[in-house]
Amino acid sequence: AQSVTQLDSQVPVFEEAPVELRCNYSSSVSVYLFWYVQYPNQGLQLLLKYLSGSTLVESINGFEAEFNKSQTSFHLRKPSVHISDTAEYFCAVSHYNAGNMLTFGGGTRLMVKP
Amino acid sequence: EAGVAQSPRYKIIEKRQSVAFWCNPISGHATLYWYQQILGQGPKLLIQFQNNGVVDDSQLPKDRFSAERLKGVDSTLKIQPAKLEDSAVYLCASSPLAGLASGEQYFGPGTRLTVT
């Protein structure tokens, strides 16, 4: 079985400040890792994913996440946030042979203040 | 391309009543998922279909929940009878068969169910 822990339920931050949303997972087998974002009144959207290769992955809107196998972490970072980044962020894992079934963390609400 | 459609967007019912949710996945997507998202928690998978067959329904409370995917396209999720703890957002997602290993699922806007 696998599980995902998002250590912070809410992260308030001022505009243009850096932010890190933490994600740790546990699994006895190799996993794929994802960050999904849910903007207010919208569905979940894939932000970025790690399948293999380079442990640093980036999104088109400036977010990045680094897979750390030894620490079983996949933290999400952005060097300078915008008001429009206000949303709920979900970390998720899937198992290589589990038919793409996702296990989600509890979510982190990012609140960007002017 | 059109996204995943769900209806209704909101539903309020009394406990012990029944309710049904509808999902239309992205055209051509073979795999369809239903998730339950309780307030303050991440989505939890209820059932996964591949075409019109069930891949996994191990977390579906089968005494009251049922789901079907007729003709491998649209899907309905039913709760009968509803309990207070069923209050949640019910999310539908789909993915193409080729995307199974990549983890990318496309989510609908969800149906917010309130059971009073």
pLDDT digit string, tens, across residues B22-40: 999 999 898 999 999 998 8
Residue range A52-99, pLDDT digits in tens: 888 899 998 899 999 999 999 999 999 999 999 999 999 999 876 656
> Mean pLDDT, to the nearest integer, of A15-42?
91
Q: Is B10 on the interface with A (CB under 8 A)?
A: no
Q: Is B36 on the interface with A (CB under 8 A)?
A: no
Residue range B52-70, pLDDT digits in tens: 899 889 999 999 999 999 8
Amino acid, res. A68: N
Q: Is A34 on the interface with B (CB under 8 A)?
A: yes
- Which architecture, in CATH terms, is A3-113? Sandwich (2.60)
Q: Test B4 with A43 for CB contact under 8 angstroms.
A: yes
- The proportion of chain A whose per-residue pLDDT surpasses 70, expressed as a percent, equals 96
Whole-number pLDDT of residue B48: 92
Domain locations along chain A: 3-113
CA distance B39 to chain A (A): 10
Enumerate residues 6+ apart whose C-beta is below 8 A from B108.
Answer: A43, B3, B4, B5, B6, B23, B91, B92, B93
Q: Distance between CA B39 and CA A18 in Å, rounded?
A: 27
Q: Which two tokens stand for residue B114?
A: 């309130």
Q: Test B103 with A99 for CB contact under 8 angstroms.
A: no
CA distance B15 to chain A (A): 26
Q: Is A46 on the interface with B (CB under 8 A)?
A: yes
Coil, helix or strand at residue B99: helix
Q: Name residue A63's beta-bridge partners.
A: none
Contact residues, chain B, for A107 at CB < 8 Å: 40-42
Q: Distance between CA B17 and CA B13 in Å, rounded?
A: 7
Identify the band that residue B98 occupies on the pLDDT scale cut at 50, 70 and 90: low
Q: Name residue A4's beta-bridge partners.
A: A25
DSSP A38-93: E-TTS-EEEEEEE-SS-SEEE-TTS-EEEEETTTTEEEEEESS--GGG-EEEEEEE
CATH superfamily entry for domain B5-97: Immunoglobulins (2.60.40.10)
